[in-house]
Amino acid sequence: MSVPPESVVPPQPSEPLGGDIPAEERTWAMFAHLSALLGALLTASLGAGWGCFIGPLVIWLVKKDSMPFVADQAKEALNFNISVAIATLALVVLSAITFGIGLIIALPLWAIIGIAWLVLTIIAGVKANEGVRYRYPFALRLIK
Protein backbone atom coordinates (compact mmCIF):
# COMPACT_ATOMS: atom_id res chain seq x y z
CA MET A 1 0.00 0.00 0.00
CA SER A 2 1.43 3.35 -1.02
CA VAL A 3 1.50 6.47 1.19
CA PRO A 4 0.60 9.79 -0.44
CA PRO A 5 3.62 12.14 -0.52
CA GLU A 6 1.87 14.94 1.38
CA SER A 7 1.33 12.68 4.42
CA VAL A 8 5.03 11.85 4.77
CA VAL A 9 6.62 13.89 7.55
CA PRO A 10 10.19 14.92 6.79
CA PRO A 11 12.71 13.94 9.44
CA GLN A 12 13.25 16.63 12.06
CA PRO A 13 16.75 17.63 13.06
CA SER A 14 17.73 16.04 16.33
CA GLU A 15 18.09 18.17 19.42
CA PRO A 16 21.68 19.32 19.86
CA LEU A 17 23.70 17.72 22.60
CA GLY A 18 23.27 19.76 25.72
CA GLY A 19 19.76 20.92 24.91
CA ASP A 20 19.22 24.40 26.28
CA ILE A 21 22.53 24.63 28.17
CA PRO A 22 24.85 27.16 26.49
CA ALA A 23 28.17 25.93 25.13
CA GLU A 24 30.13 28.16 27.51
CA GLU A 25 28.42 26.60 30.54
CA ARG A 26 29.02 23.08 29.23
CA THR A 27 32.70 23.90 28.72
CA TRP A 28 33.09 25.30 32.23
CA ALA A 29 31.29 22.25 33.66
CA MET A 30 33.73 20.00 31.81
CA PHE A 31 36.62 22.05 33.22
CA ALA A 32 35.17 21.60 36.71
CA HIS A 33 35.50 17.83 36.38
CA LEU A 34 38.81 17.73 34.53
CA SER A 35 40.44 20.32 36.79
CA ALA A 36 40.62 17.56 39.41
CA LEU A 37 43.04 15.70 37.15
CA LEU A 38 45.21 18.78 36.72
CA GLY A 39 45.16 19.56 40.43
CA ALA A 40 46.17 16.02 41.34
CA LEU A 41 48.99 16.04 38.79
CA LEU A 42 50.35 19.38 39.96
CA THR A 43 50.28 18.51 43.64
CA ALA A 44 51.63 15.00 42.97
CA SER A 45 54.73 16.62 41.52
CA LEU A 46 55.13 18.35 44.88
CA GLY A 47 54.80 15.01 46.66
CA ALA A 48 51.23 15.37 47.91
CA GLY A 49 48.56 14.64 45.28
CA TRP A 50 45.77 16.10 47.43
CA GLY A 51 44.98 18.93 45.04
CA CYS A 52 42.23 17.01 43.26
CA PHE A 53 39.51 19.08 44.92
CA ILE A 54 41.12 22.52 44.51
CA GLY A 55 40.09 23.00 40.84
CA PRO A 56 36.42 22.06 41.30
CA LEU A 57 36.31 24.20 44.45
CA VAL A 58 37.67 27.28 42.69
CA ILE A 59 35.33 26.85 39.71
CA TRP A 60 32.34 26.33 42.01
CA LEU A 61 33.16 29.43 44.06
CA VAL A 62 33.68 31.60 40.98
CA LYS A 63 30.74 30.39 38.84
CA LYS A 64 28.10 29.28 41.38
CA ASP A 65 26.05 32.47 41.12
CA SER A 66 26.25 33.06 37.37
CA MET A 67 26.05 29.56 35.82
CA PRO A 68 23.71 27.03 37.48
CA PHE A 69 24.81 24.02 35.41
CA VAL A 70 28.47 24.75 36.18
CA ALA A 71 27.66 25.17 39.88
CA ASP A 72 25.88 21.81 39.93
CA GLN A 73 28.68 19.95 38.15
CA ALA A 74 31.50 21.66 40.08
CA LYS A 75 29.75 20.77 43.33
CA GLU A 76 29.39 17.18 42.14
CA ALA A 77 33.07 17.01 41.19
CA LEU A 78 34.05 18.57 44.52
CA ASN A 79 31.96 16.07 46.49
CA PHE A 80 33.42 13.14 44.56
CA ASN A 81 37.01 14.27 44.99
CA ILE A 82 36.51 14.91 48.70
CA SER A 83 35.05 11.38 48.96
CA VAL A 84 38.09 9.93 47.20
CA ALA A 85 40.42 11.91 49.48
CA ILE A 86 38.58 10.60 52.56
CA ALA A 87 38.85 6.99 51.32
CA THR A 88 42.55 7.45 50.58
CA LEU A 89 43.17 8.99 53.99
CA ALA A 90 41.30 6.12 55.67
CA LEU A 91 43.64 3.65 53.94
CA VAL A 92 46.67 5.65 55.10
CA VAL A 93 45.36 5.54 58.68
CA LEU A 94 44.70 1.78 58.36
CA SER A 95 48.25 1.24 57.18
CA ALA A 96 49.70 3.36 59.99
CA ILE A 97 47.61 1.76 62.75
CA THR A 98 48.60 -1.75 61.67
CA PHE A 99 52.30 -0.78 61.32
CA GLY A 100 52.27 -1.50 57.59
CA ILE A 101 50.39 -4.80 57.67
CA GLY A 102 47.31 -2.95 56.41
CA LEU A 103 49.20 -2.26 53.20
CA ILE A 104 48.18 -5.75 52.09
CA ILE A 105 44.65 -4.36 51.86
CA ALA A 106 45.50 -0.73 51.13
CA LEU A 107 47.73 -1.14 48.07
CA PRO A 108 45.19 -3.02 45.91
CA LEU A 109 42.42 -0.68 47.08
CA TRP A 110 44.53 2.38 46.21
CA ALA A 111 45.01 0.98 42.71
CA ILE A 112 41.28 0.34 42.32
CA ILE A 113 40.35 3.76 43.71
CA GLY A 114 42.91 5.48 41.47
CA ILE A 115 41.72 3.78 38.29
CA ALA A 116 38.05 4.35 39.17
CA TRP A 117 38.77 8.01 39.99
CA LEU A 118 40.52 8.55 36.65
CA VAL A 119 37.85 6.79 34.57
CA LEU A 120 34.89 8.38 36.34
CA THR A 121 36.43 11.85 36.16
CA ILE A 122 36.93 11.53 32.39
CA ILE A 123 33.40 10.17 31.90
CA ALA A 124 32.00 13.05 33.96
CA GLY A 125 33.94 15.60 31.90
CA VAL A 126 32.62 14.15 28.65
CA LYS A 127 29.04 14.00 29.94
CA ALA A 128 29.20 17.58 31.24
CA ASN A 129 30.44 18.74 27.84
CA GLU A 130 27.39 17.04 26.31
CA GLY A 131 25.14 18.94 28.71
CA VAL A 132 24.26 15.93 30.86
CA ARG A 133 24.05 16.37 34.63
CA TYR A 134 26.45 13.61 35.67
CA ARG A 135 26.23 12.01 39.11
CA TYR A 136 29.23 10.10 40.40
CA PRO A 137 28.56 6.74 42.02
CA PHE A 138 29.87 6.31 45.58
CA ALA A 139 30.17 10.07 46.22
CA LEU A 140 29.28 11.53 49.57
CA ARG A 141 27.08 14.60 49.09
CA LEU A 142 28.88 16.77 51.64
CA ILE A 143 28.35 20.10 49.87
CA LYS A 144 24.74 20.76 49.04
Give the pLDDT score at 42: 81
Instruction: Give pLDDT tens digits for 26-82.
Output: 999 999 999 988 888 887 766 566 778 888 999 999 998 999 999 999 999 999 999
Measured between alpha carbons, how far is 84 from 93 in angstroms, rounded to an integer? 14
Residue 3 clears pLDDT 80, i.e. is over it: no
Q: Which of 65, 60, 76 is nearest to 28 (CA)?
A: 60
> Alpha-carbon distance 53 to 42, whole Å?
12
The pTM for the full model equals 0.80
Structural domain boundaries in the chain: 21-129
How far is 3 from 1, CA to CA, in rounded Å? 7
Residue 2 scores a pLDDT above 80: no
pLDDT, tens digit, for every residue of 103-138?
888 899 989 998 999 999 999 999 999 999 999 998
